[in-house]
Amino acid sequence: MITTRFTEMFGIDHPIVQGGMQWVGRAELVSAVANAGALGIITGLTQPTPEALAAEIARCREMTDRPFGVNLTILPTISPPPYAEYRQAIIESGVTIVETAGANPIDHLPAFHDAGVKVIHKCTSVRHAVKAEQIGVDAVSIDGFECAGHPGEDDVPLLVLLPRTVEELSIPVIASGGIGDGRGLAAALALGAEGVNMGTRFMCTEEAPIHRSVKERIVENTERDTDLLYRPLRNTARVASNAVSRKVVGMLDEGAEFGEIRHLVAGVRGREVYETGDLDAGVWSAGLVQGLIHDIPTVDELVHRMVADAEEIITARLAGLVSGAGSTTAAASARSA
């Protein structure tokens, strides 16, 4: 078993998080992740009302007695959701872990902390991670450029972004973006992370509540099969490459305004992909890690395979390299003497 500050603080067995994913983070997946000893996250705004979120939390509790959390993504929109009501639904439901994303969560922290809720905030840059620690979050999930969804505008991959973040923070840091197996888990721990966050990899499991065709396409895809939307608008989003995403990229490159593509990227169309399996019905998120995904296991199989592989890499392969290097140095010293 791999134990870190993060596993101890959040009461889980394995340093693996299933992050919030729109339309995907539902009770079926979240409970399976929790039962496997990792941290599952319900996506709050997938539920249409705070009351519906409370019902989804209750449904998840019927499927697991292990810890799980709720994602609250704070979006800078003209007509924002009733965030205070969603927050209250989380607190009143007895959830003790929240993953925040998007805008600064400072307005929500007092209520969450007063209720004993630990907050993990998702960031895409070192400066935002530093700010998150300053305002009092309990852990940070740092998203590299490889990730699905919104990777920020700095374009820094996780191999650099993660250790830079760890250098600046004292709270636990979770690595996100490009991780899908035990090699990624071991590498993240070596770079200073105390856990990993995965989205695309968990989409491609038996319990993920999305159409089988989406999962099979992820297995078929390579690391080259994503598109970056909204680059000219400075609101980059990484999605699986399909007819719609390629059309949107082309329109924006030719100078289209957001209003001209709004109907193509509407969330309801992405939801249709997941529900019907029509892979060109809308845009849907996927990270570069799909190039490393070759099967559709159960969540339990995935989590325990990852942990076992990471343990083997850490205790056998890497330890063997260090031992070999030491022996080589000693032999060279003996010869020179």
What residues does each domain of the chain span? Answer: 5-209, 226-276
User: In 3-state terms, what secondary structure has residue 224?
Assistant: coil
Residue 275 neighbours by CB distance under 10 Å: 14
Q: How far apart, in whole angstroms, are the C-alpha atoms of residue 227 and residue 252?
A: 12
Q: Across all residues in the chain, what is the average pLDDT?
A: 95
Residue 55 has a CB neighbour count (10 Å cut-off) of: 15
* CA trace torsion 64, 194, 174, 70 (10° rounding): 20
Across 1-18, average pLDDT: 98
Residue 310: per-residue pLDDT: 98
* pLDDT the model gives residue 191: 98
Longest distance between any two alpha carbons in the chain, whole Å:
77
Q: Please determine, for residue 136, whether its predicted confidence score (pLDDT) is greater than 90.
A: yes
Identify the bridge partners of residue 97 per DSSP, sorted by sequence position: 118
Report whether pLDDT(334) > 60.
no
CA quadruple 73, 77, 80, 83: dihedral positive or negative?
A: positive
- For 81, residues 6+ apart whose C-beta sits below 8 A from its C-beta are 45, 75
41 pLDDT exceeds 60?
yes
DSSP letter assigned to residue 45: G
Q: What per-residue confidence (pLDDT) applies to 335?
A: 47
pLDDT in tens, 287-308: 999 999 999 999 999 999 999 9
Give the model's confidence band at 79: pLDDT under 50 very low, under 70 low, under 90 confident, else very high: confident
Range 147-166 average pLDDT = 97
Position 241 scores a pLDDT of 98
Question: Which residues make beta-bridge pairs with 210?
Answer: none
Query: Which of 79-83, 236-240, 246-250 has the weakest average pLDDT?
Result: 79-83
Residue 294: HSE in the Cβ half-sphere, 13 Å Cα cutoff: 2
Is the CB of residue 15 less than 8 Å from the CB of residue 192?
Answer: no
- What is the structure's pLDDT at 325? 53
- Residue 13 in contact with residue 7, Cβ under 8 Å? yes
* CATH code of the domain occupying 5-209: 3.20.20.70
For residue 334, count other CB atoms closer than 10 A to its CB.
Answer: 8
Check pLDDT > 50 for residue 332: no
pLDDT at 324: 60
Q: What is the pLDDT of residue 336?
A: 47
Residue 148 pLDDT: 97
* Parallel, antiparallel or unpaired: strands 173-176 and 196-198: parallel
Q: Which of 152, 145, 203 is nearest to 175 (CA)?
A: 145
174: β partners: 141
pLDDT of 67 > 60? The answer is yes
DSSP string over 47-85: SSSHHHHHHHHHHHHTT-SS-EEEEEEE---SS---HHH
- Regarding pTM above 0.75, the answer is yes
pLDDT at residue 77 greater than cutoff 90: no
